[in-house]
Amino acid sequence: MNRFTTILWDVDGTLLDFAYSQNYAIRKCFQTIGKPITDEMVDRYDQINNSFWKRLEQKEITREELLSGRFLQLFEEYRIEGVNIKAFMKEYQESLGNVYSFQDDALTILTALHGHMKQYVVTNGVTSTQMNKLRLSGIYNLMDGVFISEQMGADKPSEVFFEKALSHVAEQDRSRILIVGDSLSSDILGGSNAGIVTCWYNPHGQENSLDRKPDYEIHDLHQIYEVLEIICGG
């Protein structure tokens, strides 16, 4: 009997290439406001955005402060004035959800696992944006459930997020639930604290900065088959 019956999948940076969507969205928004944007500015926005999400994970800021603050900081640093922040935010979220690119043939992998085990999405983000990407990409149709932080009223890695999500998962033996995600501070820490098995998707070969080790580490999503075969054969 297979050890795992259930996989919780992170989306951005795991199943989908978030950088691809982010690059498209921020450039489109700058085009709309008639302002030039350079590669340096795109890279700087990525740094700012990541820092705001880390601060949200640490509960240092609110979701509302994140959604507007990252742009306000970018505009301040590059002395960009006269932008309607609400309109900019709205277009950004819509644009972010309108394009996608798969990581490592993710859709093929999800399709191959579909019907053999339960699969769920666990993601931080804005509901409308995430749902649009999931539907357009075809991921939604392969999932047994979708848990988005905005809907849950809590973000990964919080205990509240994971407890709410796991309460809706059919499998209640947590040793048979595997979370796969690229974020040590969000997916791996949250999953570990929740008592489920963790698999760190680490395509860029980063060093583990946590004080704990994920149960598994993969560098390509195709390696999830190896993880499952090792479990099946063991």
CATH number at 76 reads 1.10.150.240
pLDDT at 89 over 50: yes
Same domain, 111 and 139: yes
Residue 1 domain-assigned (yes or no):
no
161 within some domain: yes
- The arithmetic mean of pLDDT across residues 92-119, rounded, is 96
Q: What mean pLDDT comes out for the span 173-186?
A: 97
| Length, in residues, of the chain | 234
In this structure, is residue 176 part of a structural domain?
A: yes
With a pLDDT cut of 70, the percent of the chain lying above it is 97
Average pLDDT over residues 55-70: 94
Pull the structure tokens for residue 107: 């859709």
227 is a domain residue: yes
Specify whether 225 is located in the same domain as 155. Answer: yes
Residues 229 and 166 in one domain: yes
Same domain, 212 and 182: yes
Mean pLDDT of 179-200: 97
Q: Which of 73, 96, 119 is the last residue of a domain?
A: 96
Kindly state whether residue 91 falls inside one of the protein's structural domains. yes
Residue 214 has pLDDT above 50, yes or no: yes
Please check whether residues 82 and 130 belong to one and the same domain.
no
Q: Do 11 and 120 share a domain, yes or no?
A: yes
- Provide the number of structural domains found in the chain: 2
Chain segment 42-55, per-residue pLDDT in tens = 999 999 999 999 99
Domain boundaries, position 51: 18-96
Same structural domain, 119 and 75: no
Sign of the alpha-carbon torsion through 55, 57, 60, 64:
positive
- Please, which pLDDT band fits residue 82 given cuts at 50, 70 and 90? very high
Whether residue 139 lies inside any domain: the answer is: yes
Residue 5 has pLDDT above 60, yes or no: yes
* CATH code for the domain in which residue 166 is found: 3.40.50.1000
Residue 185 has pLDDT above 80, yes or no: yes
Of 215, 14, 17, 190, the closest CA to residue 110 belongs to 14
- Which is nearest to 45 in space by CA: 11, 72, 16, 64? 72
Given this model, what pLDDT does residue 230 score? Answer: 45
| 109, 215: one domain | yes
Q: Is residue 131 part of a domain?
A: yes
Q: Give all strands of the β-sheet with 145-148 in edge-to-edge order.
A: 145-148, 118-123, 6-9, 177-181, 197-201, 216-218
Q: What is the mean pLDDT of residues 202-231?
A: 90
Q: How high does pLDDT run on average in the chain? A: 95
Asked if pLDDT for residue 64 goes beyond 50, the answer is: yes
Degrees, nearest 5: CA angle 214-106-185:
30
Q: Where does the pLDDT of residue 233 fall: very low under 50, low under 70, confident under 90, or very high at 90 and above?
A: very low
Residue 1's pLDDT is what? 57
Select from 96, 114, 139 the last residue of a domain.
Answer: 96
State the catalytic residues: 10
